[in-house]
């Protein structure tokens, strides 16, 4: 007789008859899982699987990766360039020569009429790094606009800004392996199980082998908070107050690492003076964490042999995002927890190649973490690209979130959007809609023709996606990993790399630059430019990257020529004394006075609105909204609301409600849960015409990243549930 588990039928995997498996890196989140894509005898893509020997995911994938192969047959793909006919106001198919010629002419016309910066470029975190590099070369070296940014301003700008302010350069100093060494992990606004499931699995595995305290700071009882030893349900937008209070305790009780501070940092006196204003009793009244817990957590963190801080959008998407990152860095620095196994300050990035754009796109500077503000950097790149260094601006132009208001006020007349969908992703949808309608010339370059933003375009350029192309991504732990081409892009669509090269040729009549013709050629240019830099990739090549299942930078030519195999490259940064990127080699401890400038709940709008992501979906659902298995698990917009709040409003589980803010309204289904406080709700950010109709998105002064997570709303019951259901379905888009 069979008992328990043995009585059940074993799970049977359908044999999809894959005959060939091609290596790639997952094209969704920044974890950077190694994935293989199966094709059958007819060359049809039939499956995805994790790669067992890859250090990042060790054979595993999350739900998005498992079904990622379905992308190649998803609906809504663009397969021809489309040009709007202004007389009949509809699109007509055109060929690439005409499309790129019209685009180059319009860019020239706008720049000649209104100035170089009147044409703006906003790209993404989802291109391959070689494509970012080529777009940067085209934008900085040929088009010459300074209003060039990535949509990474919506997710990672605060991390970049905070790293630069603390360490003198961007570049996360730690790695996933640090989970295996740490004695305490503090997670700030990071819900790993839903946002970065495979990193979460690495963390859980480390905790199962070797228990260490997990402290989660999040206003919401997220999945990660449910696994925490200590959960601090901080008042939205007050992380900096909590950080200051923790430092107050550490410094006042003499728990800091004095030798490390002395050898590696400047600014301790100013920091000490500032945190005196944040004794735990005072801080508790602002951040909502009781004073004993503040003291307890500060002591646990400071007394741990090694401790690490990680964070995601809960810190970044705030009016104090950059300060929040600096605060985490401060905590690591005063306790001597940078550059050692288990002791680090690690931003968990969002998109698959948010790091690649930071390193090589030239969005906020020049390639390889070079600065426009630095004369030598301008000279080096000018010589390498054959561009007069004086052609480069001497300081960074507008961020994405400032480009849109500049369109509103008429400073910017033309915009090129590459693989980004601001109609769904930007705060205050109505304002974004009016801004896009104001443009003289909008180009949308995207794999999908049916993204919401396309309807405002004058020109649409169809691009290949993910493994329809070849090149590298960099993940959150600085691991460069490769995507090999599996199949062709549909119809007449082209890789982004080829589109940039076609455009470069349109401008080549007047400019003396050469562009590599292949991604491998672009990678060689990046390698040459990386030599001796923090982001040194000169020892890598595409084949070695695949062989090693990804290599963390820095990995130098010297290491490669000595035959030192990765990971002798860069598991960690700043491992030696005083090797930070400021001229004196020392990191800055920066005092962080707290200014309370968020929109807050009041009598008229009594609920905090928090936004975030779901495990099944990626960003604006451009891809995952099309895939049966991911969309099926999470098909409609909903709102988490506390059962007590729901009861007081007369709202039942599963009813549709109308949320209203000072900007607009949205219909969502109510899901009753204790995960949110009585005065707070949570709505996922993936759906069109939904939560971003409500958000305010005040900007961080350093990073220009919007505060998506601190808006105020009210909630109305809807009498006609059938009509509400219909409206909610319309928001599904697909």
Residues that bind ligand SF4 (CB under 6 A): 26, 28-29, 31-33, 57, 61-62, 64-65, 196-198
Q: Is the Cβ of residue 484 or residue 600 nearer to ligand SF4 in the bound state?
A: 484
Structure tokens at 706: 């919007």
Q: Is the Cβ of residue 197 or residue 393 nearer to ligand SF4 in the bound state?
A: 197
Q: Is the Cβ of residue 197 or residue 367 nearer to ligand SF4 in the bound state?
A: 197
From the CB of 417, what's the least distance to ligand SF4, in Å?
23
Burial class (CB in 10 A: 0-12, 13-18, 19+), 82: buried
Whether omega before 567 lies within 30 degrees of 0, making that bond cis, reads yes
Q: Is the Cβ of residue 32 or residue 144 nearer to ligand SF4 in the bound state?
A: 32
Q: Is the Cβ of residue 178 or residue 274 nearer to ligand SF4 in the bound state?
A: 178
From the CB of 616, what's the least distance to ligand SF4, in Å?
10
Q: Is the Cβ of residue 28 or residue 685 nearer to ligand SF4 in the bound state?
A: 28
Q: Which residues pair with 472 in a beta bridge?
A: 482
- Which 3-state string (H, E, C) describes 134-198? HHHHHHHHHHCCCCEEEHHHHCCHHHHHHHHHHHCCCCCCCCHHHHHCCCCEEEECCCHHHHCHH
From the CB of 178, what's the least distance to ligand SF4, in Å?
18
From the CB of 215, what's the least distance to ligand SF4, in Å?
23
Quickly tell me which residue has 């030798």 as its tokens.
259
From the CB of 684, what's the least distance to ligand SF4, in Å?
16
Whether omega before 554 lies within 30 degrees of 0, making that bond cis, reads yes
Query: Which residues, at least 6 apart from 224, have a Cβ–Cβ distance to it below 8 Å?
Result: 187, 190, 191, 192, 193, 200, 214, 216, 218
From the CB of 542, what's the least distance to ligand SF4, in Å?
20
CA distance 495 to 419: 12
Q: Is the Cβ of residue 469 or residue 588 nearer to ligand SF4 in the bound state?
A: 469
Q: Is the Cβ of residue 419 or residue 699 nearer to ligand SF4 in the bound state?
A: 419
From the CB of 50, what's the least distance to ligand SF4, in Å?
7
Closest CA to 690 of 719, 732, 726: 732
CA distance 56 to 48: 16
Q: Is the Cβ of residue 62 or residue 217 nearer to ligand SF4 in the bound state?
A: 62
Q: Is 261 helix (H, G, I), strand (E, B) or coil?
A: helix
Q: Is the Cβ of residue 122 or residue 419 nearer to ligand SF4 in the bound state?
A: 419
Q: Is the Cβ of residue 61 or residue 355 nearer to ligand SF4 in the bound state?
A: 61
Q: Is the Cβ of residue 28 or residue 260 nearer to ligand SF4 in the bound state?
A: 28
Structure tokens at 511: 């400019």
Q: 413-425: b or e for each residue (b if 16 or more CB lie within 10 Å)?
A: bbbbbbbbbbbbb
From the CB of 595, what's the least distance to ligand SF4, in Å?
35
From the CB of 83, what's the least distance to ligand SF4, in Å?
35
Q: Is the Cβ of residue 385 or residue 618 nearer to ligand SF4 in the bound state?
A: 618
Where does 508-599 have alpha helices with state H?
A: 519-530, 542-548, 557-561
Taking CA atoms, 53 is separated from 56, 202, 568, in Å, by: 9, 15, 17
Beta pairing class for 119-123 and 148-150: parallel
From the CB of 355, what's the least distance to ligand SF4, in Å?
13
From the CB of 388, what's the least distance to ligand SF4, in Å?
41
CA distance 484 to 22: 7
Query: Which residues, at least 6 apart from 479, have a Cβ–Cβ distance to it below 8 Å?
Result: 32, 56, 175, 550, 551, 552
Q: How many CB atoms lie within 10 A of CB 545?
A: 22
Q: Is the Cβ of residue 67 or residue 687 nearer to ligand SF4 in the bound state?
A: 67
Quickly tell me which residue has 């999809």 as its tokens.
16
Query: Which residues, at least 6 apart from 279, have a Cβ–Cβ distance to it below 8 Å?
Result: 245, 248
From the CB of 187, what's the least distance to ligand SF4, in Å?
16
From the CB of 471, what's the least distance to ligand SF4, in Å?
16
Q: 167-195: b or e for each residue (b if 16 or more CB lie within 10 Å)?
A: bbbbbbbbbbbbbbbbbbbbbbbbbbbbb
From the CB of 66, what's the least distance to ligand SF4, in Å?
7
Q: How many CB atoms lie within 10 A of CB 7?
A: 8
Q: Is the Cβ of residue 158 or residue 195 nearer to ligand SF4 in the bound state?
A: 195
Q: Is the Cβ of residue 31 or residue 614 nearer to ligand SF4 in the bound state?
A: 31
H/E segment holding residue 646: helix 643-649
**Contact assessment for residue 483 and residue 466, using Cβ atoms and an 8 Å cutoff:** yes
Structure tokens at 247: 């430092």
From the CB of 475, what's the least distance to ligand SF4, in Å?
8
Closest CA to 253 of 304, 309, 302, 308: 302
Q: Is the Cβ of residue 522 or residue 627 nearer to ligand SF4 in the bound state?
A: 627
From the CB of 199, what's the least distance to ligand SF4, in Å?
7
Question: Following DSSP, what letter does each residue of 13-70 receive, concatenated?
Answer: -------EEEEEE-SSBTT--EEEEEE-TTS-EEEEEE-TT-TTTTT---HHHHTGGG
Point out the residue whose Cβ comes nearest to ligand SF4: 65
Query: Which residues, at least 6 apart from 656, have a Cβ–Cβ distance to it below 8 Å?
Result: 667, 668, 669, 670, 718, 721, 724, 725, 727, 728
From the CB of 627, what's the least distance to ligand SF4, in Å?
12
Q: Is 300 helix (H, G, I), strand (E, B) or coil?
A: helix
């Amino acid at each position: 007789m069979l008992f328990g588990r043995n009585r059940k039928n074993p799970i049977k995997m359908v044999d999809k008859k894959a005959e060939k498996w091609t290596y790639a890196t997952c094209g969704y989140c920044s974890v950077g899982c190694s994935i293989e894509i199966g094709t059958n005898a007819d060359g049809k893509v039939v499956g995805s699987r994790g790669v067992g020997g890859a250090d990042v995911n060790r054979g595993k994938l999350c739900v998005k990766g498992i079904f990622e192969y379905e992308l190649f047959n998803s609906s809504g793909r663009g397969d021809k360039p489309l040009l709007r006919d202004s007389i009949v106001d509809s699109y007509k198919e055109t060929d690439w020569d005409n499309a790129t010629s019209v685009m180059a002419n319009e860019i020239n016309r706008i720049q000649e009429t209104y100035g170089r910066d009147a044409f703006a470029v906003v790209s993404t975190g989802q291109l391959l790094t070689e494509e970012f590099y080529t777009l940067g070369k085209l934008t900085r070296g040929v088009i010459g606009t300074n209003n060039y940014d990535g949509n990474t301003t919506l997710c990672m700008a605060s991390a970049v800004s905070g790293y630069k302010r603390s360490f003198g350069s961007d570049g996360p100093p730690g790695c996933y392996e640090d989970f295996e060494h740490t004695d305490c992990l503090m997670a700030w606004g990071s819900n790993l199980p839903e946002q970065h499931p495979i990193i979460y699995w690495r963390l859980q595995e480390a905790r199962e082998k070797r228990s260490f305290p997990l402290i989660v700071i999040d206003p919401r009882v997220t999945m990660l908070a449910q696994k925490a030893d200590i959960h601090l349900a901080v008042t939205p937008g007050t992380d900096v107050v909590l950080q200051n209070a923790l430092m107050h305790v550490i410094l006042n009780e003499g728990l800091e690492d004095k030798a490390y501070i002395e050898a590696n940092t400047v600014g301790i006196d100013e920091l000490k003076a500032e945190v005196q204003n944040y004794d735990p009793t005072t801080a508790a009244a602002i951040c909502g964490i009781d004073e004993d817990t503040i003291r307890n957590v500060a002591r646990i963190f400071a007394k741990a042999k090694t401790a690490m801080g990680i964070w995601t959008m809960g810190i970044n998407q705030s009016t104090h995002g950059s300060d929040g990152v600096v605060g985490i860095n401060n905590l690591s620095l005063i306790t001597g927890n940078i550059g050692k196994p288990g002791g680090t300050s690690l931003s968990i990035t969002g998109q698959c190649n948010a790091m690649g754009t930071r390193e090589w796109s030239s969005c906020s500077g020049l390639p390889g973490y070079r600065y426009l503000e630095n004369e030598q950097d301008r000279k080096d790149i000018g010589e390498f690209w054959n561009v007069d260094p004086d052609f480069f601006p001497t300081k960074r132009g507008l961020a994405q979130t400032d480009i849109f208001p500049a369109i509103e006020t008429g400073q910017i007349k033309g915009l090129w959007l590459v693989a980004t969908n601001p109609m769904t992703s930007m705060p205050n949808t109505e304002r974004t809609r009016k801004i896009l309608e104001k443009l003289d010339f909008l180009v949308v370059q995207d794999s999908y023709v049916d993204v919401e933003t396309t309807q405002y375009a004058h020109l649409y350029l169809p691009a290949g996606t993910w493994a329809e192309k070849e090149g590298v991504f960099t993940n959150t732990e600085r691991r460069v990993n490769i995507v090999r081409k599996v199949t062709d892009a549909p119809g007449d669509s082209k890789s982004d790399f080829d589109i940039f090269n076609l455009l470069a040729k349109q401008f080549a009549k007047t400019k003396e630059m050469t562009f590599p013709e292949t991604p491998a050629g672009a990678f060689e240019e990046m390698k040459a430019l990386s030599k001796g830099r923090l982001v040194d990739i000169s020892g890598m090549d595409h084949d070695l990257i695949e062989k090693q299942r990804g290599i963390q930078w820095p990995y130098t030519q010297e290491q490669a020529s000595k035959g030192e195999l990765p990971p002798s490259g860069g598991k960690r940064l700043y491992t030696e004394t005083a090797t930070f990127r400021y001229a004196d080699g020392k990191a800055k401890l920066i005092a962080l006075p707290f200014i309370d400038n968020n929109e807050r709940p009041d009598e008229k709008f009594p609920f905090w609105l928090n936004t975030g992501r779901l495990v099944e979906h990626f960003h604006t659902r451009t891809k995952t909204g099309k895939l049966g298995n991911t969309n099926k698990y999470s098909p409609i917009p909903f709102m988490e609301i506390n059962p007590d709040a729901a009861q007081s409003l007369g709202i039942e589980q599963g009813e549709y409600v109308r949320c209203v803010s000072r900007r607009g309204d949205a219909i969502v289904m109510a899901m009753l849960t204790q995960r949110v406080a009585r005065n707070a709700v949570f709505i996922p950010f993936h759906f069109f015409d939904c939560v971003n109709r409500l958000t305010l998105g005040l900007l961080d002064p350093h990073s220009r990243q919007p505060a998506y997570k601190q808006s105020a709303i009210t909630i109305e019951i809807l009498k006609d549930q059938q009509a509400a259901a219909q409206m909610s379905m319309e928001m599904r888009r697909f």
